[in-house]
Amino acid sequence: MVKIGNIELPDFPLLLAPMEDVSDPPFRALCKENGADVVYTEFISSEGLIRDAAKSVMKLDIYEKERPVGIQIFGANLDSMLRSVEIVEKTNPDIIDINFGCPVKKVVSKGAGAGILKDIDLMVSLTEAMVKHTNLPITVKTRLGWDHDSIRIIEVAERLQDVGCKAISIHGRTRAQMYKGNADWAPIAEVKNNPRMHIPVFGNGDVDSPEKAMEMRDKYGLDGCMIGRASIGYPWFFNEVKHYFKTGEHLSKPTISERVDMARRHLEMAIDWKGEHLGVVETRRHYTNYFKGIPHFKEHRMKMVTSDDPKDVFAAFDEVQTKFGNATIPEIG
């Protein structure tokens, strides 16, 4: 069993990573249904929360069916972060996660996200202050370091644990790498194998197959796996990993019909939550993966990603259903 504070999780839990414009309530619900053990919100600006910015506040929406659910916030100003904790607490999440890993320039330029990796003392003091400011478990998501020459992740993890952080998720790249090259899990394993560490250490980066998840568990000995890009437009991934762990065999891939049904549900839920326009626009990023591998799919995909009218998108789903029926991707590839 793995525990984040008092939250009990199964051995080697699978966590849905916080992803901007991806990890919203509709997608989190689908991932939860399909095996995710913990889900995280999109990252939320502490400055946006205290200014009551509509987009930031909307991201606080969480639902009972998602639990355990973590709300992730980012920022570099102590007062703003503490005030945002008070706002977040009112929505009653299970976990508050601090983003110390986002590599995007607009975040880093403000000293937040991965930008704080250039000031470890601030990273630790912010975490300590937030731990003292709430009874909810505080967790951290970060990267190996700012660049290859400044990797101090073993020391960083120790210090975060010492000030009360209840779990740490580490992406196996530096900020300088962004998403290029391969994630390096060896330094994450060094954190886990540090005899001083007793909080869960989760790995993140490049887990795009059940075999990779098993390698993270068995070769690197980590406590769990945070899954990001592999789940976009493919919430089945979590159950596929669990099935592989249990049986050593690959779960059958979803049929075209099942893919259409999932995409349709996803869009319906997104429209219910965000309204027609945002629901249609912000679900587009998922369609490539929902229907990955279907030959000559470009015509259908263009209809899905260029129409602003949900009726047209649903009609495109129906066309795919009619054309391919219950076939699986290998059968038609």
Task: Kindly compute the dihedral angle of the four CA atoms of residues 127, 131, 136, 142, in this order, to the nearest 10 degrees.
Answer: 20
List Cα–Cα distances, 286 to 132, 211, 290, in angstroms.
Answer: 39, 23, 6
Q: How many CB atoms lie within 10 A of CB 235?
A: 25
Q: Please, how many CA atoms are within 13 Å of residue 152, restricted to the half-sphere of its CB?
A: 15
User: How many whole angstroms separate alpha carbon 318 and alpha carbon 95?
Assistant: 39
Q: How far is CA 200 from the centre of its chain?
A: 17
Strand-pair partners of 201: 168
What secondary structure does DSSP assign to 48-101, as a single string?
A: HHHTT-HHHHHTT---GGG-SEEEEEE-S-HHHHHHHHHHHHTT--SEEEEEE-
Strand-pair partners of 98: 73, 140
**Of 83, 80, 79, 163, which is closest to residue 120 (Cα–Cα)?**
163
User: How many whole angstroms separate alpha carbon 298 and alpha carbon 320?
Assistant: 11
Q: Does 102 participate in catalysis according to the annotation?
A: yes
102: alpha, beta or left? (left if phi > 0; alpha if psi -120 to 50): beta
Choose the catalytic residue: 31, 102, 165, 225: 102
Strand-pair partners of 15: 38, 226
Q: Hey, which residues are catalytic here? A: 102
